[in-house]
């Protein structure tokens, strides 16, 4: 979830299960090469006493940080990616805790495994909603750290995107090149980060197992981003998408209540690459968006966000 308040919603509710055959065909069309799907241990979910954060490792240079729903109902996921001489932190959490100690511990451990090699920390964001940058102040005085701004201009300038949102940016962490895909619509500065090494696409709030909020005055922008994402995935093989939240249960099409204090029986974090084509179809076929339930996500139009 990215919005901290309720909206007036549309009336049509449609569940679209995704047959397995269609998933496989869509994956092939999107150019997804066979690869092990990311697997995680159970995440902290608010159903028992739990720490403020949980860390799981994808590989020695790629970490996922989950914020406890007990500290903030948004329970976002943050990502820390290491290259040879830079590390990228995607998002700083929703507040209600200090996230920097967890990040500093991971950096110290990584440096210890690399003979104390210095590493510059880049703090960027999937987008500019408050539940993704509440921890920024913790990093403002951190040595050898750069905070990327929250506006489209600031994001484009840092990642060298001269034609926002049409151009895909390129950022090198040192032997690890990331692609920065502008995907405004949910929020003006929204991006996705693609890592060719792992073939993972860090998809923020545009595509994750939950309610994909689309302000009604940004429908055309969101559709254009869905098209842009589909074109990108035809060019770059995507193993899976890792978003910023989980709001779906394991029951297809069923989400948790707004501000749910616990996430029992939670949907997995990773989405298959076929979800990209499914989202593109969902937002392209209807003349106006209404609540549209799919097995793994819900297209959720909302009132325009006030300035």
> Which residue, 5, 11, 24, is CA-closest to 301?
11
Question: Does residue 85 contact residue 61 with C-beta atoms inside 8 Å?
Answer: no
Percentage of the chain lying above the pLDDT 90 cut: 85
Q: How does pLDDT run across 214-249, given as a tens digit for each residue?
A: 999 999 999 999 999 999 999 999 999 999 999 999
Q: Is residue 307 one of the residues assigned to a domain?
A: no
Q: How does pLDDT run across 143-200, given as a tens digit for each residue?
A: 999 999 999 999 999 999 999 999 999 999 999 999 999 999 999 999 999 999 999 9
**Structural domain containing residue 97:** 14-302
- Which helix (H) or strand (E) is 66 found in, with range? strand 62-67
- The predicted model scores a pTM of 0.89
Q: Is residue 236 one of the residues assigned to a domain?
A: yes
Domain of residue 94, CATH code:
3.60.15.10
Q: Is residue 269 one of the residues assigned to a domain?
A: yes
Q: Is residue 78 one of the residues assigned to a domain?
A: yes
Q: Is residue 69 one of the residues assigned to a domain?
A: yes
Answer whether residue 206 shows pLDDT above 80. yes
Q: How does pLDDT run across 277-286, given as a tens digit for each residue?
A: 999 999 997 6
Largest CA distance in the chain: 58
Q: Is residue 203 one of the residues assigned to a domain?
A: yes
Q: How does pLDDT run across 79-138, given as a tens digit for each residue?
A: 999 999 999 999 999 999 999 999 999 999 999 999 999 999 999 999 999 999 999 999
Q: What is the C-alpha to C-alpha distance for residues 95 and 136, in angstroms, rounded to an integer?
A: 10
Question: Does residue 56 contact residue 40 with C-beta atoms inside 8 Å?
Answer: yes
User: Rounded to whole angstroms, what are the CA distances from 238 to 79, 161, 176, 192, 273?
Assistant: 17, 22, 16, 12, 6
Q: Is residue 33 one of the residues assigned to a domain?
A: yes
Q: Which residues contact 1 (CB under 8 A, 6 or more apart)?
A: 73, 74, 131, 210, 211, 213, 245, 247, 258
Number of folded domains in the chain? 1
């Amino acid at each position: 979830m990215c919005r901290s308040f309720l909206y007036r919603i549309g009336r049509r509710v449609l569940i679209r299960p995704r047959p397995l055959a269609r998933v496989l065909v869509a994956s092939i069309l999107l150019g997804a090469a066979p690869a092990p799907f990311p697997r995680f241990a159970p995440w902290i979910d608010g159903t028992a006493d739990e720490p403020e954060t949980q860390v799981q490792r994808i590989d020695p240079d790629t970490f996922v940080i989950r914020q406890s729903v007990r500290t903030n109902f948004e329970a976002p996921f943050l990502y820390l990616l290491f290259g040879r001489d830079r590390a990228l932190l995607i998002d700083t959490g929703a507040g209600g805790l200090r996230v920097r100690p967890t990040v500093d511990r991971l950096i110290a451990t990584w440096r210890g495994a690399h003979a104390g090699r210095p590493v510059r920390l880049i703090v960027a964001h999937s987008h500019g909603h408050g539940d993704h940058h509440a921890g920024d102040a913790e990093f403002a005085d951190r040595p050898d750290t750069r905070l990327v701004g929250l506006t489209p201009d600031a994001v484009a300038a840092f990642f060298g995107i001269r034609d926002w949102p049409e151009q895909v940016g390129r950022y090198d962490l040192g032997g690890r090149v990331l692609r920065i895909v502008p995907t405004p619509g949910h929020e003006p500065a929204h991006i996705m980060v693609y890592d060719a090494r792992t073939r993972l696409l860090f998809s923020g709030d545009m595509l994750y197992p939950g309610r994909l909020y689309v302000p009604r005055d940004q429908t055309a922008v969101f559709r254009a981003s869905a098209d842009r994402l589909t074109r990108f995935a035809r060019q770059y093989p995507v193993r899976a998408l890792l978003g910023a939240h989980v709001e779906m249960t394991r029951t297809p099409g069923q989400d948790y209540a707004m501000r749910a204090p616990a996430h029992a029986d939670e949907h997995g974090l990773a989405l298959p690459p076929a979800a990209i084509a499914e989202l593109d179809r969902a937002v392209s076929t209807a003349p106006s968006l209404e609540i549209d339930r799919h097995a793994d996500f819900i297209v959720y139009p909302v009132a325009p966000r006030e300035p």
